[in-house]
């Protein structure tokens, strides 16, 4: 077992059940870092999120008049990072992070948007007025891969679809 201060120098293949960790992070963490492509360069934003119960979609909201929204319209390729660093007691070995990659698209008004709005609002009830605004977009990301990192360099990959 590696203790505090002993950072491994080699990557180790993990065998953690990534789906279970994604569910747990969805329960305990409320924000993710979203990476989009802005004129060929990376651009990051902080977003509140929810994952659908089937673990196939990552849902977040954004005003339509934002760079991240425009980037999604130009290229739907995104990556999202969820981590528990605030709960790791400043010990990198206790921190876990998950990078989620996929294709993002705004949802049009209708049944699917209403369902994903409900899932998002169950986790973030304070967003109710925001989500009702005509200037707010609800974005669904079709998850293609999840990469879980724990104990600094223990990596487990889940190809979702």
Distances from the Cα of 71 to the Cα of 37, 38, 96, angstroms: 6, 6, 28
Per-residue pLDDT at 1: 40
pTM, to two decimals: 0.84
Residue 5: what pLDDT? 57
Q: What is the CA radius of gyration of the chain?
A: 16
State the pLDDT confidence band at 27, using cuts at 50, 70 and 90. Answer: very high
With 0-12 / 13-18 / 19 or more C-beta atoms within 10 angstroms meaning exposed / middle / buried, residue 91 is exposed
pLDDT tens-digit map of 34-70: 999 999 999 999 999 999 999 999 999 999 999 999 9
Q: Tell me the domains of the chain and their CATH numbers.
A: 12-159 (2.30.110.10)
C-alpha–C-alpha distance, residues 38 and 3, integer Å: 40
């Amino acid at each position: 077992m590696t203790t505090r201060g002993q950072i491994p120098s080699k990557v180790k293949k993990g065998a953690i059940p990534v789906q279970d960790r994604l569910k747990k992070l969805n329960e305990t963490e409320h924000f993710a870092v979203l990476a989009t492509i802005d004129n060929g360069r990376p651009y990051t934003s902080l977003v509140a999120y929810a994952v659908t119960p089937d673990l196939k979609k990552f849902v977040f909201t954004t005003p339509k008049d934002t760079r991240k929204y425009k980037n999604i319209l130009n290229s739907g390729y995104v990556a999202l990072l969820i981590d528990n660093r605030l709960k790791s007691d400043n010990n990198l070995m206790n921190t876990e992070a998950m990078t989620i990659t996929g294709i993002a698209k705004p949802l049009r008004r209708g049944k699917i948007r209403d369902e994903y709005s409900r899932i998002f609002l169950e986790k973030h009830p304070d967003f109710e007025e925001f989500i009702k605004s005509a200037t707010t977009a609800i974005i669904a990301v079709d998850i293609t891969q999840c990469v879980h990192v724990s104990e600094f360099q223990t990596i487990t990959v889940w190809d979702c679809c």
